[in-house]
Structure 1
Amino acid sequence: MDFHFSPEEKAFRQDLRAWLKENVPPDWEGVFLEEEEKEWRQGREFVKKLSDKGWVAPSWPKEYGGMEASPALQLVYNEEMGYHRAPIGSVVQAVGYIGPAILAFGTEEQKKQHLPPITAGEIVWCQGFSEPEAGSDLAALQTRAVKDGDDYVINGTKIWTSNAHRSDWCILLARTDPAAPKHKGIGFFLVDMKSPGITVQPIINMANVHSFNQVFLEDVRVPKSGLLGQENQGWFITIMALDFERSTLVAAAISMAKRNLDELIDYCKETKVNGGTLLDNPLVRHKLAEMTIEIEVGKYMVYRVVSLQARQEPGSIEAAVCKLYNTELDVRVANTGIQILGLYGQLQRDSKWAQLMGRFQKSYMYALAMTVGGGSSEIQRNIIAMRGLGLPRR
Structure 2
Amino acid sequence: MLTSELLWEHSEAPVRALRDEIREVLAAAPIAEARRRRDPRPVHRALGAAGLLAPQWPVEYGGRGVSHVSAAVLVEELAMHDVPDLLHTLTVSIVGTTLLNCAGPEMRARHLPGFAAGTSYGCVLFSEPHAGSDLSVLSTRAVRHGDGYRLHGTKTHSIFARLADHALCLARDDDDALTLFLVPLGGGGVRIEPIPALMDDDFHEVTLDGVAVGPGDVVGEPGQGWAIVVKTLAYERTGLDYYVKALRWHRAATERLRGGLTQHDAIGLARLNTRLVAAGTLVRRVLTRLDRGELNEDEAAAAKWYTTELAAEIAWWAAEHGGDLAMIAEEEGVADPLDVAAREAPGMRISGGTSEMMLETLARLRLDSGAEVRP
Q: TM-score, normalised by structure 1?
A: 0.85
1:228 to 2:208 alignment? no
CA contact (8 A) 1:174 1:187 kept: yes
Partner of 2:18: 12
Q: Hey, what's the Cα distance between the residues in 1 that align with 2:203 and 2:318? A: 26
1:55 to 2:47 alignment? no
Partner of 2:350: 372
Partner of 1:298: 279
Report the CA distance between 1:366 and its aligned residue: 0.9
Q: Hey, what's the Cα distance between the residues in 2 that align with 1:342 and 1:328? A: 21
Give the partner amino acid of 2:365.
R
Partner of 1:165: 162
Structure 1 residues 189 and 321: CA distance shift in structure 2, 3 A: same
SS in 2 for 1:161: strand
Q: Hey, what's the Cα distance between the residues in 1 that align with 2:198 and 2:72? A: 32
Partner of 1:112: 109
In the TM superposition, what are the counterparts of 1:15-164 in structure 2 within 5 Å? 15-20=21-26, 22-23=27-28, 25=30, 27=32, 38-40=37-39, 43-164=40-161
Give the partner amino acid of 1:362.
V
Q: Hey, what's the Cα distance between the residues in 1 that align with 2:85 and 2:318? A: 25
Report the CA distance between 1:24 and its aligned residue: 5.1
Report the CA distance between 1:212 and its aligned residue: 1.1
Report the CA distance between 1:19 and its aligned residue: 4.1
Q: Hey, what's the Cα distance between the residues in 2 that align with 1:303 and 1:210? A: 27
CA contact (8 A) 1:145 1:176 kept: yes
Partner of 1:322: 303
CA deviation string 1:79-116 (max 9, x = no partner) = 33333333454333110111111111212221111111
Give the partner amino acid of 2:145.
D
Partner of 2:265: 284
Partner of 1:274: none
CA contact (8 A) 1:186 1:235 kept: yes
1:381 to 2:359 alignment? yes
In the TM superposition, what are the counterparts of 1:231-250 in structure 2 within 5 Å? 231-247=222-238, 250=239
Structure 1 residues 178 and 75: CA distance shift in structure 2, 3 A: same
Structure 1 residues 56 and 195: CA distance shift in structure 2, 3 A: same
The worse-fitting range, judged by mean Cα deviation, of 46-55 and 75-84 is: 75-84
1:262 aligns with one of 247, 251, 264: 251
Q: Hey, what's the Cα distance between the residues in 1 that align with 2:275 and 2:311? A: 10
1:253 to 2:242 alignment? yes
Q: How many residues align?
A: 362
CA deviation string 1:172-208 (max 9, x = no partner) = 00012555xxxxx21000111123221112211134x
SS in 2 for 1:90: helix
CA contact (8 A) 2:182 2:218 kept: yes
Q: Hey, what's the Cα distance between the residues in 2 that align with 1:357 and 1:125? A: 25
CA contact (8 A) 1:85 1:256 kept: no
Report the CA distance between 1:267 and its aligned residue: 2.5
Unaligned segments of structure 2, at least 5 residues: 1-7, 371-375
Structure 1 residues 14 and 117: CA distance shift in structure 2, 3 A: closer
CA contact (8 A) 1:130 1:159 kept: yes
CA contact (8 A) 1:143 1:157 kept: yes
Partner of 1:350: 330
CA deviation string 1:107-129 (max 9, x = no partner) = 22211111111112112212110
SS in 1 for 2:212: strand
The worse-fitting range, judged by mean Cα deviation, of 96-105 and 321-330 is: 96-105
- Flag the structure with larger Rg: 1
1:201 to 2:207 alignment? no
Quote the RMSD (CA, aligned, Å): 2.5
Q: Hey, what's the Cα distance between the residues in 1 that align with 2:331 and 2:116? A: 38
Identity of paired residues, percent? Answer: 29
SS in 1 for 2:45: helix
1:218 to 2:218 alignment? no
1:307 aligns with one of 255, 276, 288: 288
Report the CA distance between 1:18 and its aligned residue: 4.5
Report the CA distance between 1:69 and its aligned residue: 1.0
Unaligned segments of structure 1, at least 5 residues: 180-184, 271-277
Q: Hey, what's the Cα distance between the residues in 1 that align with 2:145 and 2:353? A: 33
Report the CA distance between 1:26 and its aligned residue: 5.9
2:183 aligns with one of 172, 176, 191: 191
The worse-fitting range, judged by mean Cα deviation, of 66-75 and 76-85 is: 76-85
Partner of 1:273: none
Q: Hey, what's the Cα distance between the residues in 2 that align with 1:5 and 1:26? A: 26
SS in 1 for 2:154: strand
Q: Hey, what's the Cα distance between the residues in 1 that align with 2:358 and 2:201? A: 27
Q: Hey, what's the Cα distance between the residues in 1 that align with 2:15 and 2:325? A: 40
CA deviation string 1:54-98 (max 9, x = no partner) = 101011111110111112212233333333333454333110111
Report the CA distance between 1:158 and its aligned residue: 0.3
Report the CA distance between 1:257 and its aligned residue: 2.0
Q: Hey, what's the Cα distance between the residues in 1 that align with 2:256 and 2:272? A: 15
